[in-house]
Structure 1
Amino acid sequence: MSRKLLLQSITAALMGGTAMADAPKVAVDIAPVHSLVASVMEGVGTPDLVIPAGASPHEYNLRPSEASALQEADLVFWIGEDLTPWLEGAVETLSDGATVTTLLESDGTVLLDFRENAFFEAHDHGDHDDHGHDDDHAEDEKHDEHDHEEEHAHDDHGHDDHDDHDSEDHNDHADHDDHGHGEHDPHAWLSPANAEIWLNVIAAQLSAADPDNAGAYFANAAAAREEMAALSDEVAETLKPVQGGRFIVFHDAYQYFEDAFNFRASGAISLGDATDPSPARISDIQGRIRKEGIECVLTEPQFNPGIVATVLDGTEAKTAVIDPLGSDLDPGVELYPQVIRNLANSLAECL
């Protein structure tokens, strides 16, 4: 039986053939989270998506219909200001009467710290929430000392005589600050384990607002969690033949996926989300590709393909496009699993 038919059967049984109460109005920030909320609300109602999948969550001007969705919402689900700092004011102003759930603050969510270097070592995938930054910095310092001649000059923030390299690295960190990022990487939806946690949170909040449909919400969440577990197994199988392959991403947004499937990137062309890398950074990345035999450079639809072409020039690495938001997918229940599946497929095909 398909998931849709199963959910319909469960919902019908739970409601005992009676008419379902009107669903609350729900607004959601980004398409992957909207997909999770839609899964929990399936058969009851449909949430509104505030930020279109093809738009950058870091910078966006709300259209009247999207502002209206926030204004009319009984509940708002969003990642948090670490991802969309500009949205915080709109949520506070337009949704002042709504129940607002910040998913990054939900109990059980695994949070990873930002990685602060262009090149990642096996240990350098960010600490979980219960670790501080001191150990991370200590490991970075060891790495810098070990590779002083090749990399430290490019990543050292403390020397004014390396203007080109310093300005690039400072710009990368400035990007995080300009976007309102806190200490944690906000791309936490790329961990299916976090998605499973959030499905319960979403069901609980919807049930509190709409107790008449609580049974349907929790049944939907349970079915979606089972699907998430199957998805993780599927992705692990997809990546198994290329496990250990070496790849670089355009910007550092994938460590939750890397952490979930123990498949680490070797580095990022740009640490920031909005600033192009300097010639010095590109040169460093090219050197790493040649030195370590990097097989794949992954880019995203919104980034300049010319930069990737420059990085690849003179190397044997291949390239593929990945998309953490599902910009080419239809919003809805199937979007989230397809985003995770597409990441794995693109990586496996590129390596």
Structure 2
Amino acid sequence: MSIAPRRLALLAPLAALPLVLTGCASASGADDGTVDVMASFYPLQFVAEQVGGDRVTVRSLTPPGAEPHDVELSPAQVSRIDGADLVVYLSGFQAAVDDAVAQTSPAHVVDAASDTTLRPADHEDESEEEHAEHEHGDLDPHFWLDPSRMPSVVEDVAATLTEIDPDGAEAFAANAAALSQRFEDLDATYAAGLQQCDVRTFVTSHEAFGYLADRYDLEQVGISGIDPEAEPSPARLAAVETIVRDEDVSTIFFESLVSPKVAETLADDLGITTAVLDPVEGLADPDADYFSIATANLEALRMALSCS
């Protein structure tokens, strides 16, 4: 299979990382004495930062603004995984990270896949050829879009940080409790905000929002499947057009880290609008965070679904 253009774009900046990252690594812990944490992509980076506070130094294996599904790692990043005090990742999501964790010996590992039950990926609308070309497995990785699933990851990170840094146990426990409460409050806000809606079907550029849809009794329709790189077939586009008309859908959602071209073209053909629904896989805006993005997503959904 040929390398996607986005993957080629990622390899160039990553090739420049070894001198920077090699200078930062230490045998045990970060240079400033904090716990050295490597997170595979943004939602897990956010949890580690919030739970660890000033007792941790957290770095992400996915560059800012990069789409994480098929990220590649430089040799320096693999070396840093090997020397990290803690690696927080999601097995089955990023093949390069899975390989690096398997080939190295991180002192401590938190695999978020063990903290929640992942739902099966929906391959119903893929041809056999499309499914064979995709790098994702048979499980949908996007659990973080259901905030009710996040506290279990928070508690796992807090417990593991306590093993590494027992003196920080009280701080980790307090930070974890506060963060878990924020996720619980967000869950309640979503449930209330999406309870009374005239439309309960939403169309997205790719099927990243299955957990959110399941949690709040909505129906997600993806132009593409789990893999955002997948090109929808003409039959799939025709099926989405039918759903848009039959379900009175007013908006097609695209995301910030993937080209909106297909979504915009389809919306133009149907005479409806487009809007951003962010899968919170990475930050396009450095001033944003998980909760500000989730709040913006809720408002976008409420408007598109005519919620009261």
Query: For residue 283 of structure 2, what is the aligned residue in structure 1?
Result: 327
Q: Which secondary structure does the structure 2 equivalent of 1:42 belong to?
A: helix
Aligned partner of 1:345 in structure 2 is 299
For each residue in 1:288-328, what CA deviation from the matched residue of structure 2 results, as whole angstroms up to 9, or x when unmatched? 21233222211112433331133224424321112212422
Q: Does 1:286 align with 2:241?
A: yes
Task: Tell me the TM-score normalised to structure 1 length.
Answer: 0.71
Cα distance in structure 2, aligned partners of 1:48 and 1:340: 22
Q: Distance in 2 between matches of 1:74 and 1:96?
A: 10
Following superposition, the deviation at residue 41 of structure 1 comes to 0.5
**Per-residue CA distance 1:102-155 (angstroms, 9 max, x = gap):** 11012xx1321112324xxxxxxxxxxxxxxxxxxxxxxxxxxxxxxxxxxxxx
Change beyond 3 A, Cα 1:292–1:341: same
Q: What is the CA deviation profile of residues 64-92 of structure 1, one whole-angstrom value per residue up to 9, with x for unaligned ones?
A: 66445424311100011x21012122223
Structure of larger gyration radius: 1
Cα RMSD (Å) of the superposition? 2.3
Deviations 1:232-256 (A, max 9, x none): 2223343345364321111111111
Does 2:38 correspond to 1:38?
no
- CA contact 2:251–2:274 (8 Å) conserved in 1: yes
Q: Alignment partner of 1:46: what SS?
A: strand
Partner of 1:317 in structure 2? 272
The structural deviation recorded for 1:211 is 0.9
Give the match for residue 216 of structure 2.
261
Query: Which sections of structure 2, spanning at least 5 residues, go unmatched?
Result: 1-31
Q: Distance in 1 between matches of 2:273 and 2:196?
A: 17
| Aligned residue number for residue 38 of structure 2 | 27
Instruction: Give the letter aligned to residue 306 of structure 1.
Output: K
In the alignment, which residue of structure 2 is the partner of 1:86? 96
Q: Aligned AA for 1:335?
A: D
**Paired residues, number:** 272
Shift of residue 346, structure 1, vs aligned partner: 2.1
CA, structure 1 residues 303+330, in 2 after alignment: closer, same or farther (shift >3 Å)?
closer
Equivalent residue letter for 2:286: D
Deviations, residues 173-195 of structure 1 (Å, cap 9, x unaligned): 2244x23x1x3211111121211
Partner of 1:155: none
Q: Which runs of 5+ in 1 are unaligned?
A: 1-20, 119-167
Partner of 1:59: 70
Give the letter aligned to residue 44 of structure 1: R
CA distance in 2, matches of 1:116, 1:228: 30
AA matched with 2:228: D
Give yes or no for contact 2:68–2:282 (8 Å, CA) kept in 1.
no
SS in 1 for 2:57: coil
1:49-69 deviation per Cα after TM superposition (whole angstroms, max 9, x unaligned)? 111242122212234664454
Aligned pair partner of 2:130 in 169, 172, 185: 172
Measured against aligned partners, the alpha-carbon deviations of 1:201-251 in whole angstroms (never above 9, x if no partner) come to 100111111111111111110111111111222233433453643211111
- Correspondence for 2:10: none
Amino acid of the residue matched to residue 247 of structure 1? F
Could you say which residue in structure 2 is the equivalent of 1:100? 109
Equivalent residues of 2:34, 2:56 under 8 A apart:
yes
In 1: Cα distance, 2:292 partner to 2:64 partner: 13
